[in-house]
Amino acid sequence: MGVASILQSLRALSEPTRLRLLSLLLQEELTVAELQESLGMGQSRISASLGMLRRQGLVLDRRVGKNIYYAAVPLAIAPLLEAVRAAVSELAEAERDRQALQLVLNKRRDRAADYFDKLAGKFGRTYVPGRSWQSLAHGLLRLMPPMIIADMGAGEGTLSQLLARTAKQVIAIDNSPKMVEYGSRIAKENGFANLEYRLGDLEEPPIDSEVIDVVLFSQALHHAARPQRAIESAFRILKPGGRLLILDLASHTYEQAKELYAHVWLGFSGVELHAMLEKAGFSDLEVSVVAREQQAPNFQTILASGLKK
């Protein structure tokens, strides 16, 4: 590579977006969609940056079926490698990009998820007397050890009542006095002495520190004004060794959800949830899409979990 070529390449990499793209492509061959998910940017911006890098010979592409994969050109970058690494290390987004890339690669490699989606689709398709998701859920709940569980944003508490069948104690938190009153009455009528409803906010739950084994947000986090604060509060109330479980909607564009269902957030991406859990102090993080609705607007359910060590 001549001096002129090196200077042109350095000019191409002087823009942070192109530098971040090249850093990811040095680690893995990626599609535009995967780059979008990793960087949280729009397609047009990424495509324009890739075009510039291709013209400088720093990136090449190859087609596999309907997908086009992009990769850095090692020989072209060799004279610039140390400069690129040094520049990337100074970017504030470098660590976030690395974590986001790992999530994208985990999703790509998780063939088991697709397999289990197919299995789930078959369950209940053919009628078998007595077989249903409801009965299966009741059976699996019996396998849970007796734990203290906090059900955040519990609503009327249907899930809390199911959990109370085997849990040592369930504390159901909701900010609606009517929901708490209704849930408490139902729990009393059904003899759940280990199920307690408390009026409170997801972000400041009325629960002492380090007393909970499992904190559960089941389609509740998108109602929180400050989801990060809610997750940090979950960390506070968990015992060491306790686990947080979040079931929520994956990011979507169905704006009507705000009016129809009082959603504050239009779901969360895997990258966002991973970052929030890590910031709160959780480790052993797992984030994946576990369900996809077949009817429009085709909501997806994302599962995130983390351990408090």
Q: Are residues 100 and 134 in the same domain?
A: no
Give 179-213 pLDDT, tens digit per residue.
999 999 999 998 999 999 999 999 999 999 999 99
Average pLDDT value for the chain: 87
Bridge partners of 199, per DSSP, are 174
Beta strands 67-72 and 59-64 are: antiparallel
- 76-134 pLDDT, tens digit per residue, is 666 677 777 778 788 888 888 888 888 888 777 665 556 666 666 666 666 667 777 77
Any bridge partners for residue 64, and if so which? 67
Q: Please tell me the predicted confidence (pLDDT) of residue 272.
A: 92
Contact 232, 69 (CB under 8 A): no
**In a domain? residue 148:** yes
Asked if residue 167 and residue 21 are part of one domain, the reply reads no
Q: Which of 61, 76, 109 is the last residue of a domain?
A: 109
Using a CB cutoff of 8 Å and minimum separation of 24, what contacts does 292-299 make?
292/117, 297/252, 297/253, 297/254, 299/249, 299/250, 299/252, 299/254, 299/267
153, 98: one domain: no
Looking at the structure, tell me whether residues 146 and 101 fall in a common domain: no
| 136 and 104 within one domain | no
pLDDT at res. 2: 46
Chain segment 243-299, per-residue pLDDT in tens: 999 999 999 999 999 999 999 999 999 989 999 999 999 999 999 888 888 889 999
- 142 domain residue, yes or no: yes
- Cα separation, 285 vs 270, whole angstroms: 11
Final residue before a domain boundary, out of 109, 143, 177: 109
Contacts of residue 210, Cβ cutoff 8 Å, sequence gap at least 6:
236, 237, 238, 239, 240
Q: Do 160 and 12 share a structural domain?
A: no
Using the predicted structure, report yes or no on whether residue 154 has a pLDDT greater than 50: yes
Provide the number of structural domains found in the chain. 2
Domain hosting residue 271, numbered range: 125-307
120 assigned to some structural domain: no
The confidence score (pLDDT) of residue 1 equals: 46
Same domain membership, residue 248 and residue 212? yes
Token pair of 200 as six digits: 């409170």
Verdict on whether the full-model pTM lies above 0.85: no
Same domain, 133 and 214: yes
> pLDDT at residue 3 above 50?
no
Q: Write b or e for each residue in 115-145: b if 16 or more Cβ atoms lie within 10 A of its Cβ, otherwise e.
A: eeeeeeeeeeeeeeeeeeeeeeeeeeeeeee
Tell me, what's the pLDDT at 4? 45
